[in-house]
Amino acid sequence: MPAGDRNEPSIKLKKVKTILVTLPKPDLGKSPYYDLEQKYKVRADFRKFVDVEGATLNEFRKTRIVPLDYSAVIFPSQLAITHYFRICEELRIKMPAEMKYFCPSEAIALYLQRFIEFRKRKVFYEKEGKANLFELLQKYKSGEKFLFLCADTKINDIPDFLRTHEFTFDECVIYKVVNSDLSDLKEIKYDMLVFFTPLAIRSLYTNFPDFLQNDTLIAGFGEATAKSIEERGLRLDIKAPTPDAPSMQAAIENYLKNSNK
């Protein structure tokens, strides 16, 4: 990803031949990006920009967190769920039936089914058009002691909410996010880079401090990612979700419909 001239404020519609998606490569035939490849004659490569390292049992013990001291757990991600229950298994701890679980989305909540008997536990999650996560937490604030699980890089407003509203809670780092080594991409140029988290943007600049966008298209998913892109002085060409593009794949397809006619 060589450097070049300074970024222009905008570029004309550009035909796309190559796309780099900053996610792990999916199982063959199980990604909507494969459909884009066939439909618009593009090549979509996948490469994760960050790696995850779960906290070791020794690291967890140093936090002095005792899982059974809490009556409710807040999971901001599926990774938090995976590594928390791994630690509990290593500690030979079984969650009591009355334990409450809070998640910011249905997808994260349903992931709990891998670790608990979902219907027999108390699982709360944000539902579109109904109570959001903060409203749910506020409803169950009284008498509960919460454990918020997170990564070492905290890009989340949940702890701020808990502090502001004087919840009884503790925060625990359950996994670390580290930059992937992308040195093999140094001389490779893509027409489009697709980002899903601010951490991927951080990894880009850690690996390539002199990166300049030039005519490379940048797609970003979510407000936090868009903010990180713009803070770096980059041009956000494709944004999702939007009313007409609820997914990143849909937003990219809307662009390709015009660029790759």
pLDDT tens across the length of the chain (261 residues): 654 444 454 567 999 999 999 998 887 767 889 999 999 999 999 999 999 999 999 999 999 999 999 999 999 889 999 999 999 999 999 999 899 999 988 888 999 999 998 776 799 988 765 668 899 999 999 999 999 999 887 666 899 999 999 999 999 999 999 999 999 999 999 999 999 988 899 999 999 999 999 999 999 998 889 999 999 999 999 999 999 998 999 999 999 999 998
Please say which residue of 145, 178, 211 terminates a domain: 178
Please say which residue of 163, 178, 193 terminates a domain: 178
> Both 107 and 165 in a single domain?
yes
Of 90, 80, 35, nearest in space to 54 by CA: 80
Give the total number of structural domains in the chain.
2
- 47-100 pLDDT, tens digit per residue, is 999 999 999 999 999 999 999 999 999 998 899 999 999 999 999 999 998 999
> Both 124 and 216 in a single domain?
no
Domain of residue 231, CATH code: 3.40.50.10090
Is 214 contained in some domain? yes
What is the domain range of residue 228?
18-49+184-259
Q: Which two tokens stand for residue 111?
A: 């992931």
CA dist., res. 229 & res. 118, Å (int): 38
The amino acid sitting at 81 is: I
Is 3 contained in some domain? no
Is 6 contained in some domain? no
> Both 233 and 209 in a single domain?
yes
Q: Where are the alpha helices (DSSP H) in 22-122?
A: 32-40, 57-62, 78-90, 106-111
The number of beta carbons lying within 10 Å of the beta carbon of residue 120 is 8
Burial class from Cβ neighbours inside 10 Å (0-12, 13-18, 19+) for residue 97 reads exposed
pLDDT at position 26 is: 85
pLDDT at position 154 is: 66
For residues 37 and 43, is the Cβ–Cβ distance under 8 A?
Answer: yes
- 138-157 pLDDT, tens digit per residue, is 999 999 999 999 988 766 68
Is 4 contained in some domain? no
pLDDT at position 219 is: 97
pLDDT at position 131 is: 65
> Both 153 and 188 in a single domain?
no
pLDDT at position 118 is: 75
> Both 242 and 159 in a single domain?
no
